[in-house]
Structure 1
């Protein structure tokens, strides 16, 4: 288990001084067992995906109760000896101070916070103000990854993502995450965004992590992609078993 100031600094240092073809790759564990697999493979840190954790708990994406999400993160943190960042969606309606306290209690060294709800994109100025409150409450105790949802909400212009990124970095975000940004716009985003940039990769599809790094990614995450691959593998085994011998 890696928590506290040493864990946060260890995690923060992983984002610094990276070569363009060597982005930080953060697999997304959905439970303690998968976390142990990724840590044993040599990954220096992990980042939980809310959708993958939701699936492991029997919920639809976005429907996990806060208490269950924080408990799941705590189990993952306890299972490994590398830093763990937690995707806590939009913060579950918690005030910044309580959100920070819950993350620290779970042992997370960072968090992923998104800027949309079921109703659509949040006002960027209001969201930046809320992020600033999280940063103030956390001090240096959490690495804040601000997810930008413009591309998944039908706003395709990279300038919209760049504007939000600037506001969130000014509010204290350590990294920004324009989720599902098309590969073609990554160089434009990189040119316009100050600081680390998280890029979503699809396991086994599209550019490799090294190629995404060359296009501007500081770090790579996979969302629930790895959990869904594992689920598909189990589904295929189950079908073969159900078919009976020789089928």
Structure 2
């Protein structure tokens, strides 16, 4: 899947990694990019190939309307997300639910709406922007980690379900990028431009999972071992 000549749709395109996906797709010759957000007027990419659409993961009607308006999509980038900071035991359950409603149910809703569109256009590709927190939990990130873990597993499941219609489903995992969402995090951050670059390079090679940075590679490698030393290391690193 080469972006040149493709028609893409990116969720959460108003800032951060989503905005960088829009720019990278345009740089690589995409014919059209539907840039979506809850408030599409906030999308500031100035290019005649960009079409702004409203899409709110928590509003199924907006998802259905976006799918109806974008019947030529061949590449779907699920990037939109939130970070509520809610814990699971004593945190606000409404915020825990909002994390799951956004990252799992919302993203799945977008996939369900656009899978027939992609199938009708020959298959195409779905890119799900995930997180190293799909594979571990940091203090204060309980709800986010659970939601991202569910989204990671869902990514693997829909990949199998959509294989018959020749739709490639890619998971992209990273630690922290220098975006508004991570403004309160005082650790190492990657350039958000690296995320679409690595994702689209890998998509052109047919790779279904992309580990963007060394932090995420370390987390993935730890999964085969005893979690106790890993969490002791994480606690020391984060000063928790």
TM-score by length of 2: 0.37
**1 or 2 for the larger relative contact order (CA 8 Å, sep ≥6)?**
1
